[in-house]
Homo-oligomer: A and B are copies of this chain.
């Protein structure tokens, strides 16, 4: 009546459970007579046999399960990453536990602890903190660890990250070609790896184009939110900083920038060009549609899965990291600067 077990199949097929186990496992099938194997396969199917993953894991000590740690699933960045990861890990027979940390140290510790309790075979860390003791702690457990969206100093930990630097370069080239010379960067929090990387890339780009690295052209926002973006631009305007273009650390900051501009009666792109980062959904429906750097989130997840699988299958393999190329989506928020700098 209950779910059939290996012994049930064995009994029905008239063989020993061990034989059924080997017949059912493609790896060991050649150890059993071909006819017997066929018979076992058939009776297993006819009984509707499904192996009990818990018994198997108990015996083999591998759970066919990996843990994914993200700040917040509700952040539109992550769902595509999660899907990419699940899609490729799923076809490899792995399940994924997703835990949210809300960027809270306590919750993060609890989340990781829950993954440990569940005996995951590997970890994917997509939280934003730049450095973290947990990374070392996990790596010491001799379980594959993979970083997403950020890197660490430790070169032995593989990671998959968007190539923020070249994304910023793309955006800057676009603005410079349009004729902009005074470009503001709305930098994200410098404690977050994306915030940090993009600001650095911004400075490099300035240098590459022979533009001055004026300190007033960089505002560090305390968070990646619309509010922070709006406040930053308001401050810029209040301080009479001259600029004709804004490179926002991400789309949310760009949206905040839109708000501040509108509030001050400035028009985009006539007065100020704006470019975002991420190509979040609906950015093409903004007014004007936002020019932004697109990040292949799904591919990031998928690539992370592939790298993790490598680590799972051949633990001794040399750690490998990948950098994913980005592209610039030019829409209507960028245009040549007005002939004269706007009146202050």
Contacts and interface: CB of A to CB of B under 8 A. Distances in A.
A73 interface: yes
Interface string A269-311: 0000000000011100111000000000000000000000000
Interface string A87-103: 00010000101101000
B63 A73 contact: no
A165 to B, nearest CB: 27
A235 interface: no
Contacts of A98: 86, 98
A73 to B, nearest CB: 5
Contact of A285 (B54, B79, B282): B282
Contact of A100 (B50, B55, B83, B287): B83
A56 to B, nearest CB: 9
Contacts of A53: 117-119
A58 to B, nearest CB: 5
20 contacts: A52-B58, A53-B117, A53-B118, A54-B57, A54-B63, A74-B79, A74-B80, A76-B281, A78-B79, A98-B98, A255-B282, A281-B281, A282-B282, A282-B285, A282-B286, A285-B285, A285-B286, A286-B286, A286-B287, A287-B287
A339 to B, nearest CB: 27
Nearest to A255: B285
B58 A54 contact: yes
**Copies per assembly:** 2
A297 B108 CA distance: 24
Task: Name which of A79, A90, A281 has the most chain B CB atoms within 10 A of its CB.
Answer: A79
Given A76-B281, A282-B281, A119 B54 contact: yes
A154 to B, nearest CB: 24
Interface in A30-52: 50-52
Interface string A108-119: 000000101111
A275 to B, nearest CB: 16
A175 interface: no
Lowest 8 A-B CB distances belong to which pairs? Answer: A287-B287, A282-B282, A54-B57, A54-B58, A54-B54, A73-B79, A74-B79, A50-B117
A63 B55 CA distance: 12
Given A54-B58, A54-B63, A76 B73 contact: no
Given A53-B117, A98-B98, 15 more contacts: A53-B118, A54-B54, A54-B63, A55-B58, A73-B79, A74-B79, A76-B79, A78-B79, A83-B100, A95-B118, A255-B282, A255-B285, A282-B286, A285-B285, A285-B286
Contacts of A55: 54, 58
Interface string A125-166: 000000000000000000000000000000000000000000
Contacts of A116: 50
A76 B116 CA distance: 29
Contacts of A51: 117
A47 to B, nearest CB: 15
Contacts of A76: 76, 79, 281
A255 B287 CA distance: 13
